[in-house]
Chain A
Amino acid sequence: MGNAIEVKNLVKRYKEILALDHFSLEVAEGEVFGLLGPNGSGKTTTINCILSLLSYDKGEIKIFGKEMKPDSYELKKNIGVVMQNVAVFDELTVYENVDYFCGLYISDKELKKKYVEEAIEFVGLEDYKKFLPKKLSGGLLRRLNIACGIAHKPKLIFFDEPTVAVDPQSRNKILEGIMQLNKEGATIVYTSHYMEEVEQICSKILIMDGGKNVAIGTKEELKKMIKNTETITVDVMNLTQEHIAKIKEIPHVYAVKYADNQLVVNCSGGKHNIVRIIDFFQNNDIAIGRVNAQQPTLNDVFLEITGKELRD
C-alpha cells in the first residue's frame, strides 16, 4: 500500500515564531499514526498545513500521492477532520449539524440520510438528535464534533486532540470509535499530548518538539531507543546520602532520585531489578512502603531525548 500522506521539509513561520522547522512525515495507508508532542510543539500547525488551511513557507505536501492545494476538491472529498476546537453551528440541532456537513460531500439524498444516521449512531447520539449543541455536555459535544467530521466516510481522518476536556468514559468511547474507523479501512492521524492515548491506539508514533521531528517508530521501537528500561519507585522514609550512594552501585541502576520520601530508581537492562532493590532494603533493615516497577513510557522517551517532561 502507498502513502496516505507525505510531508517533506515543511517550514512554517508565524512572524518571529518558527512553528515548523524542516518537518517531514510519512503516513502509510491503513495506519493509525500518532503525532505526540507537548503544547505548542506544532501538531495543529502541521495538520493545518497538510490540509491547506495555512500557507507555509517551504516544503512539499502530498496526499494519496497528489499535491494538496486549497482547491484540491477531489482530495478533500476523501478527507475528514475532527478539530481541536468544536466546530458546529450553535443554531442547528445535532441531526442538522451532521446533515449539513455530510451534505457538503454527499449530494445523493438517500445516501446522505443513511450516512448521517450511521454517524450519529456511531458516536452514540441517537437520543440527542433534536438537541441543540448548547444543551449537550462537553463529552457529548465532542462526539458531535466527531460525527460532523466523519459522516461522509472519508478514507483519511485527522483527529486533533479530540479528547481534550473529556471525561474518561467518553474518552474511551472516542478511542474505541477511532479504532473502529481504522478497522473499516480509514487511515488515521491522531494528535495528542496524552501519551497513554497514543500508546493505546497508534500503530506508529512520531514525537515532535519545537516544530521538529524528535523520534519516530512503533511504541516498542521508540522505547528501545532509550537507555531506561525500568523505573522503580519505592515509598521509604529517612534515607541517608550513604544509602542512596549504595543503591546507585546496584547493577543496572543508572540514576537515583530521592524526594518527598519517594525513591525513584532508573534501570537500564537486566532482569529482576526490583528484587535486588528490595533485597537491599531488607539487608539494611529499612522498612519500606509501596513498591512499584514501571516499563518505560513515551514520557521517558521524550524526557531522555529532549531533557524535558512531555507534560508540565
Chain B
Amino acid sequence: MFFHSLKYAFITMLKNKTALIWTLIFPIALGSFMYMAFGNIYEDQALFTEVPVAVVKEKENENFEAMLKELSKEDDEQLLVVNYMEADEAKEALLDEEVVAIINMNEDIDLTIASNSYKATMVETIINEYKKQEKVITDIAKNHPENLAGVIENLADSKNFYTEKNTSDGNQDMMTNYFYAIFAMSCLFGSFGAIEKIGKLQGNVSPLGMRRCLSPNSKMISIVAEFISMITFQTIVQIIALIYFVAIGVDFGNKYPQMIGILFFGSCIGIAFGIIIGSISKLSENTKSGICISVSMVIAGMADLYANGVKDMIEHKAPIINRLNPAALISDSFYALNVYDTNERYFGNMAILGTMTVVLLIVSYLMLRRNKYASV
C-alpha cells in the first residue's frame, strides 16, 4: 500500500508540469537576473584590502608574534595590518571600526570581534589555526629553532588563508550572499506545492481528499509518501539550480556534498512548513498560499535576499532569530561551509533544520488526524 501511494505521489508530482516548471524557473530566473545585475562588478578583480587588527600584548609569546609578523609582511600575500595597542585604545579602535578585531595576548590568545564579517571570520580562523598548531610550533621552537621560520611561513601560507583571501572579495561576498538567499527562498517556496498536496489529502478541503479519507488505510501512509516525493523532487530542483549557477560562474566553493545536504534539509523545512500551514483546516486555500508567500518573503528578507546587512543587524540585536529563521540558517550554512575549516557550525545548522522539520511534521499529523473527526 505504501509503495502504491509512493508511486502515485511521484507520478502526480511529475505530471503536474506547471508546478514542475515554476519550481525550477523561480531560482534560475532570479539567479540569472542577479547575476546579470552583478555581473560587471563581479568581473572586476576588486582589490583585497588587508585586515586591520589591534593586538594587546599582556604576555610575551614569541611564536605568535612571529606568525603575526609573517602575516603582516608587506607583500602580495599580506593578510593583516597589526597595530599594537593598550586595552582601552584597542576597544575604542574596534568601536570606531578602525580595526576589525582585538587579539589579546595573555595566558591564552583571546579574540574580540565587532561583527560577523568575512574579515572578522578570517582573523578568527587564523587564531584558531594557530591554537591548533601551537604545540607543534612550541616544540619546534624548542628543539629545531632553525626550522621555525619555515613552519610559520607554511602556516600563514596554508591554503585556507588563500581561500579566505579570495572569497573575501567584497563584491563577490555580496553576490554570493544573494545566491545563498535565493536558495533559502527557493527552499521555502516548496511550501506551495505542499499546501496543494496536503489539501488533496483532507476530506474537508477537497473532494479528492474526501475520497482518499474513505480508503481503508492510515492517513500516515499517504502523508509520508507525499512527503518523500516532494522532498526528492524539491532537492533535485535545487541541485539543478546549483549546477546552473556554478555553470554560469558563481563561486560557491567546492564542498558540494555538504551543499547538497543544505539543499536537502532546506527543502525539508520548506515542505514541512507548507504541510503545517496546509493542515490548518479553518483557512481557505488562498489564505494558506498567502501566508506561505508572505512568511517566505519576510524571512528570506531577514536573510539578506533584498539587501545585505539585515542578517548581520539581527545577529547583533537578537541572534536567536537567526538561529531559528530557516532562511537565515540555510544561507548561514553555505557561508559557514565556505568560511570555516571545520563543519561544526554547518552540522549545528543542519541539526536545527532537521529538528524543526520533525517537529512541524508531528504537529501537522496531529492536526490532520483531528481533522478527520472535526466538523467541517
| Binary flags per residue of B6-25, CB closer than 8 Å to A gives 1, else 0 | 00100110011000000000
Q: For residue A54, which residues in chain B have a CB less than 8 angstroms away from its CB?
A: 375-376
Output the least CB separation between A191 and chain B (Å): 15
Q: What are the residues of chain B within 8 A of A91 when measuring CB–CB?
A: 11-12, 15-16
- Contact status of A55 and B374, CB under 8 A, knowing A91-B16, A92-B15, A100-B8: yes
A contact residues around B5 at 8 Å (CB): 104
Residue of A56, A76, A107 near B214 (CB, 8 A) is: A76
Number of interface residues of B (CB under 8 A): 28
Known: A85-B207, A87-B208. A76 touches B215 (CB 8 A): yes
Contact present for B216 and A104 (CB under 8 Å): yes
A51-B208 contact given A91-B11, A104-B4, CB 8 Å threshold: no
Docked Cα-Cα span, A103 to B301, in Å, equals 45
**Cβ of B211 under 8 Å from chain A:** yes
Query: Are B373 and A87 closer than 8 Å at their CB atoms?
Result: no
Residues of A near B69 (CB, < 8 A) are none
Distance between Cα atoms of A73 and B375 in the complex (Å): 20
Query: Given A91-B16, A104-B212: A86 and B8 within 8 A (CB)?
Result: no
For B233-271 the 0/1 string (1 means CB < 8 A from A) is: 000000000000000000000000000000000000000
Inter-chain CB contacts under 8 Å: number: 78
Q: How far is the CA of A26 from the CA of B5 in the complex (A)?
A: 35
State which of A87, A96, A105, A149 has its C-beta within 8 Å of the C-beta of B11: A96
Minimum CB distance partner of B8 in chain A: A100
Q: Mark B214-237, 1 if CB is under 8 A from A, else 0.
A: 111110000000000000000000
Q: Is A81 an interface residue (CB 8 A)?
A: yes
In the complex, what distance in Å separates the CA atom of A100 from the CA atom of B215?
A: 11
Contacts of B372 in A (CB 8 A): 52, 70
Residues of chain A from 6 to 27 with CB closer than 8 A to chain B in the complex: 12-14
Q: How far is the CA of A101 from the CA of B215 in the complex (A)?
A: 8
- Indicate which residue in B211, B212, B375 contacts A149 across the interface (CB closer than 8 Å): B211
Interface residues of chain B, those whose CB is within 8 Å of chain A, are 1, 4-5, 8, 11-12, 15-16, 200, 203-204, 206-208, 210-218, 372-376
Could you list 7 examples of A-B contacts with CB < 8 Å? A52-B372, A53-B210, A79-B214, A86-B207, A96-B8, A104-B4, A104-B215
Apart from A85-B207, A104-B215: 20 A-B pairs, beta carbons within 8 A: A13-B375, A14-B376, A53-B210, A54-B376, A55-B375, A70-B372, A71-B218, A76-B215, A77-B216, A79-B214, A81-B214, A83-B210, A86-B207, A87-B210, A91-B15, A92-B8, A101-B211, A104-B5, A105-B216, A107-B1
